A and B are shown apart, each in its own frame.
Chain A
Amino acid sequence: MDKSLNHILKKLPYSEPFLFADSLVSVDENGIQGKYTFKADSYFYKGHFVGNPITPGVILTECMAQIGLVCLGIYLLGDSLQEELKIALSNTDIDFYLAVLPGETVTVISEKEYFRFNKLKCKVKMLNAKGEVVCKGFISGMLIA
């Protein structure tokens, strides 16, 4: 992975068991792409669902937000991000199409709609290893350096 991309991941304000970004593929002013593999022993599979582990939609949304919104935001803030990043999710509008099973690797692709007055809105989608759309929609949040 490109050094500058790794630098973005290091600035993410998450850790286990709530980090859902493994690597970034590309980033520019207009968008970002990244990957995550859902660990088969993740805590939420014990309860969602009992005896039938499927990745919860809220976790898929969180994965899209961490890669698509927060990583892109860190890139866009650039040098103005000196101290801790303050973030808050403000809106999600996501449609879900396919289940993601334990151990699957997904790719998140995010395109910037706008980043103004600290609000970043993105069009996001998640693809599975076969390239099929798992879920897609819009996510926005406030990011303050």
Chain B
Amino acid sequence: MTSEEIFTQLSPIITLYLPEDVTKDQIELQSDLTAQLNINSAHLVDIVLDVEDAFDIEFANEDMEKMRTVADAIQIIQKKLESK
């Protein structure tokens, strides 16, 4: 799966958990999920759980710690898909 295809699938999942003052147009590759998109730590977990279901992969604690931006998330997802 290309990173563009992953982004297309990931973007609506992130959108579900955006606070009211952030719009989906603000989701860019370099967006910091917590600092810029204002997603709280509990919703960050929700995003990962939804991503696991959508892509049929499993995140480890280290993956969670490395996931700061949208691009980080895509890279982790891509690696997991390749090693399936």
Contact = CB atoms under 8 A, between A and B. Distances in A.
Interface of A: 88, 90-91, 114, 116-119, 140-142
A142 B49 contact: no
Contacts of B44: 117
Interface residues of B, number: 12
What DSSP secondary structure best describes chain B's contact surface? helix
A107 B41 CA distance: 30
Contacts, number: 27
Contacts of B46: 119
Contact of A119 (B42, B59, B61): B42
22 contacts: A88-B41, A88-B42, A90-B41, A90-B42, A90-B43, A91-B42, A114-B49, A116-B45, A116-B48, A117-B44, A117-B45, A117-B48, A117-B59, A117-B61, A117-B64, A118-B41, A118-B45, A119-B45, A119-B46, A140-B42, A142-B41, A142-B42
